[in-house]
Amino acid sequence: DGLLSSLVHLNTISLARNNFNSFPLGGPTQFTSVHSINMECNTIDKIPFSIFSLAKYLSKLNMRENALTSLPLDIGSWTALVELNLATNQLTVIPEDIKNLQNLEVLIMSNNQLKRIPPSLGQLRKLRHLDLEENKLDSLPQEIGYLRELTRLIVASNQLTQLPRSIGSLSNLTHLNVGENNLSLLPEDVGQLEKLEQLYINDNPNLDVLPYELALCTNLQIMSIENCPLRSLPQEIVAGGPSLVIQVS
């Protein structure tokens, strides 16, 4: 057994910014009492199957900047997780079983190789922060509209050509970043985002028109439309008042 197994009351583990290329020896018992694990900035290429089978208190896992290419088949058993950071790896798939992480509030998977989002992601009803920036997504599932607690949705730097109309159901959304994609229009349903404060639609080379329904987002404070071929702005949006900053360059 490894050193961690003998530290039975350990509840926070940080092995960040080292040269680990695998999980510490010791098996599942070393994580029995652990609440938080930070292993960012290593070269770990896989999370061993069943390594967290005894980690019933594990609420925060940070594996950012490693070399993960896939996730273990038992990811659905990590049911205590509240925050999961898998940014800057080489992941190509989000397992369907992620739907079992019913306590998850923060999911960060930016800078990976994801091509699709499973519809089951819509079952994460407590999710507040979803970051999928810098992947290879060309669409979002309609089921994303079920994430009613979501306040931040970041899908910038993908290959999205459209947004699902169900995005209008994200009634608590305050921050939406869909910049650097291939959008040609925004669904009029964005006008239902009454709490939206920041909207980034910059660098969409085919986006030449905005829906006037955006004017219904009365809490909007920042709208970035830089590097879009917009011919004009609907007067209803321009009349948003002095609190709205429109970034055009």
pLDDT at 1 (0 to 100)? 47
In terms of domains, do 146 and 198 share one?
A: yes
Question: Do 208 and 88 share a structural domain?
Answer: no
Domain containing residue 56: 1-95+106-113
Cα–Cα distances (Å) from 132 to 86, 109, 142, 200, in that order, read 10, 5, 16, 14
Above pLDDT 70, what percent of the chain?
Answer: 94
Asked whether residue 169 carries a pLDDT value surpassing 80, the answer given is: yes
Residue 234: predicted pLDDT? 81
122, 79: one domain:
no
Write down the pLDDT at residue 237.
Answer: 80
**Per-residue pLDDT tens for 118-147?**
999 999 999 999 999 999 999 999 999 999
Please state, as a whole number, how many other Cβ atoms lie within 10 Å of the Cβ of residue 206.
12
Residues 71 and 48 sit within 8 Å (Cβ to Cβ): no
Residue 243 has pLDDT above 70, yes or no: no
Is residue 82 located within the same domain as residue 12?
yes
Pair (1, 82) in one structural domain: yes
Q: Is residue 135 part of a domain?
A: no
Residue 249 has pLDDT above 70, yes or no: no
Q: Tell me whether residue 133 is in a domain.
A: no
Residue 100 inside a domain? The answer is: no
In a domain, 131, yes or no: no
**Pair 70, 2 in one domain:** yes
Instruction: Give the mean pLDDT of 72-90.
Output: 98
Considering the domain boundaries, does residue 132 fall inside one? Answer: no
Query: What integer pLDDT is reported at residue 5 of this predicted model?
Result: 63
Residue 134 inside a domain? The answer is no
- Per residue in 29-74, pLDDT (tens digit) is 889 999 999 999 999 999 999 999 999 999 999 999 999 999 999 9
Report the CATH number that the domain containing residue 47 is assigned in CATH.
Answer: 3.80.10.10
Do 121 and 70 share a structural domain?
A: no
The answer on 242 and 121 residing in a single domain is: yes
State the pTM of this model: 0.95
Output the average pLDDT for the chain. Answer: 94
Q: Are residues 86 and 185 in the same domain?
A: no
**Do 149 and 244 lie in a common domain?**
yes
Among the residue ranges 6-10, 39-43, 56-60, 229-233, the one predicted with the least confidence is 6-10
In this prediction, residue 241 has a pLDDT band, given cuts at 50, 70 and 90, of: low
Q: How far apart are the first and last CA of the chain?
A: 58
- Please check whether residue 77 lies inside any domain of the structure: yes
The length of the chain is: 249
φ and ψ of 237, to 5 deg: -75, -45
State yes or no: pLDDT of 7 exceeds 70: no
Q: Is the CB of residue 35 less than 8 Å from the CB of residue 11?
A: yes
Whether residue 41 is found in the same domain as residue 145 = no
> How many distinct structural domains can be found in the chain?
2
Q: Are residues 86 and 179 in the same domain?
A: no
Domain assignment present for residue 101? The answer is no
Is the pLDDT at 10 greater than 90? The verdict is: no
